[in-house]
């Protein structure tokens, strides 16, 4: 991850506040064919140099992809997105699954981009224009949800760096020519998309159930988590709010306007876009409080508390890499690798029955009682979400041959 930070300069992102230029985004660029970016070109070159995915130039001036290696990689990305969906829903004060479906990585005909970067907070945020009665009443509400930097970094890498190469691999393996326009539209307009299709609320609910089942042995979907999320904010979050002082209100009146007018129209920082300074401040304060409760820091300059660090270690997955197919080995190296592979790997420490039971007891107590706000973090680890993908079973040969069926199946 440190190499990716250095290579792609994620901590130095620039947010212009552009909400109108079609295809513009911080974590993606849909103005170019197949969402191609300078960052994805670096990634593709690395894959080509290391002979990953069986990449070879063809006579037509294009690139061939080994079908088996490509399908295994696509299936791994699909499972990683399932874990990422769960992490985003748990760690950013998420709303409804139908709202996730509306969030686009870039500006499009339906509205501005759904992911922004806030240099003052040293992380990104989800921006959405949504209301549950939108289809009936036509009413929209602006929602900003700050993302822990560790999770924002994963979003950036999967969408701006990996997704263009993922699209290339899809078109070279399983997506027919007649389906390519629909696939491009799904990937351009949705944060969560894999195996050629955009994720819908039911897919997200299954991903959340799988994550909770793996960690605590209980299957909680989108509807169940709404109860748990409210219980967390009531019991653990400090929701006290700083109100504008009389002097602030009087000062704005002396300048000939109310505070809301000043926030909306004067001395606005460009990165805010349509978000007002007051709205941004409230969203950031709530995000920081919620992330602290969940054992995370918000920006890359923030440090987690000692309690949060301890809980993160308790729920830490040791396997860190999303595996890529390795290049073909010589016979000697291959036989040596087979011999070494017979040595059983060490057991993974997390999610033991004892820890599952302890966490389940915490959740049961949390959902049945309400107490004063506390500052002790709860139990989550963002990068464990993607790390878990390497622990999932590899698809069988039959699954590889019919990879289309992998899309949106429950991963457990």
Q: What is the DSSP string of 316-331?
A: --S------PPPPPPH
Query: Which of helix, strand or coil describes residue 304?
Result: coil
Would you state the pLDDT for residue 372?
A: 39
CA distance 105 to 190: 6
Give the start-to-end residue ranges of the domains of the chain.
2-243+261-330+346-406
Residue 160 clears pLDDT 90, i.e. is over it: yes
Which stretch of 180-184, 186-190, 302-306 has the lowest confidence by average pLDDT? 302-306
Q: What is the DSSP string of 48-76?
A: HHTTGGG-EE-TTSSEE--HHHHHHHHHH
Taking only the tens place, the pLDDT of each residue in 72-92 is 999 999 999 999 999 988 888
CA distance 369 to 150: 31
Taking only the tens place, the pLDDT of each residue in 339-387 is 544 444 444 445 555 555 555 555 555 444 443 334 333 333 444 434 4
> Residue 286 — pLDDT band, cuts 50, 70, 90?
confident
Residue 321 clears pLDDT 50, i.e. is over it: no
Would you state the pLDDT for residue 151?
A: 93
Would you state the pLDDT for residue 26?
A: 92
* DSSP tag of 82: H
CA distance 90 to 222: 10
CB 410 within 8 A of CB 341: no
167: phi then psi, degrees, rounded to nearest 5? -60, -45
Residues in contact with 301: Cβ distance below 8 Å, sequence separation at least 6, in sequence order: 122
Taking only the tens place, the pLDDT of each residue in 101-146 is 888 999 999 889 999 999 999 999 998 876 555 555 555 677 889 9
Average pLDDT for the chain: 75
CA distance 363 to 231: 9
Taking only the tens place, the pLDDT of each residue in 289-316 is 888 888 888 988 887 777 767 766 665 5
CB 132 within 8 A of CB 25: no
Q: By C-alpha distance, which of 7, 390, 320, 57 is closest to 161?
A: 7
Taking only the tens place, the pLDDT of each residue in 19-56 is 899 999 999 999 999 999 999 999 999 999 888 998 88
Q: Which two tokens stand for residue 110?
A: 């339906």
């Amino acid at each position: 991850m440190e190499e990716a930070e250095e290579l792609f300069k994620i901590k130095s992102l620039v947010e212009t506040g552009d909400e109108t230029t079609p295809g513009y985004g911080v974590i993606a660029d849909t103005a170019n064919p197949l969402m191609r970016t300078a960052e994805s070109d670096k990634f593709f070159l690395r894959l080509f140099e290391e002979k990953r995915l069986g990449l070879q130039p063809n006579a037509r001036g294009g690139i061939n992809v080994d079908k088996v290696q490509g399908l295994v990689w696509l299936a791994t990305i699909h499972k990683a997105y399932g874990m990422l969906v769960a992490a985003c829903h748990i760690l950013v004060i998420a709303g409804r699954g139908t709202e996730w479906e509306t969030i686009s990585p870039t500006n499009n005909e339906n509205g501005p981009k759904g992911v922004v970067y806030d240099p003052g907070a040293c992380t990104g945020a989800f921006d959405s224009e949504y209301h549950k009665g939108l289809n009936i009443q036509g009413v929209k509400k602006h929602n900003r949800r700050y993302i822990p930097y560790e999770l924002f970094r994963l979003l950036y890498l999967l969408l701006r760096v990996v997704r263009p190469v993922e699209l290339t691999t899809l078109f070279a393996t399983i997506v027919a020519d007649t389906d390519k326009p629909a696939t491009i539209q799904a990937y351009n307009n949705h944060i969560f998309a894999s195996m050629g299709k955009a994720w819908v609320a039911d897919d997200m609910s299954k991903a959340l159930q799988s994550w909770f089942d793996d960690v605590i042995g209980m299957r909680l979907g989108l509807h169940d988590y709404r109860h748990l999320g409210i219980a967390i904010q009531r019991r653990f979050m400090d929701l006290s709010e700083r109100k504008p002082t009389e002097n602030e209100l009087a000062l704005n009146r002396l300048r000939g306007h109310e505070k809301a007018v000043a926030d909306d129209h004067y001395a606005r920082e460009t990165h805010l876009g349509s978000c007002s300074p007051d709205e941004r401040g409230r969203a950031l304060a709530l995000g920081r409080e919620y992330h602290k409760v969940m054992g995370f820091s918000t920006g890359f300059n923030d440090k987690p508390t000692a309690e949060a660090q301890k809980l993160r270690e308790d729920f830490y997955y040791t396997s860190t890499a999303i595996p890529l197919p390795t290049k073909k080995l010589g016979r000697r190296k291959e036989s040596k690798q087979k011999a070494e592979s017979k040595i059983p790997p060490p057991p993974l420490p997390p999610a033991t029955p004892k820890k599952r039971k302890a966490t389940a007891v915490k959740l049961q107590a949390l959902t049945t009682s309400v107490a004063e706000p506390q500052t002790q973090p709860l139990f989550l680890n963002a990068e464990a979400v993607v790390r878990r993908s390497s622990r999932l079973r590899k698809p069988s040969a039959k699954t590889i041959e019919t990879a289309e069926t992998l899309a949106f199946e429950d991963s457990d």
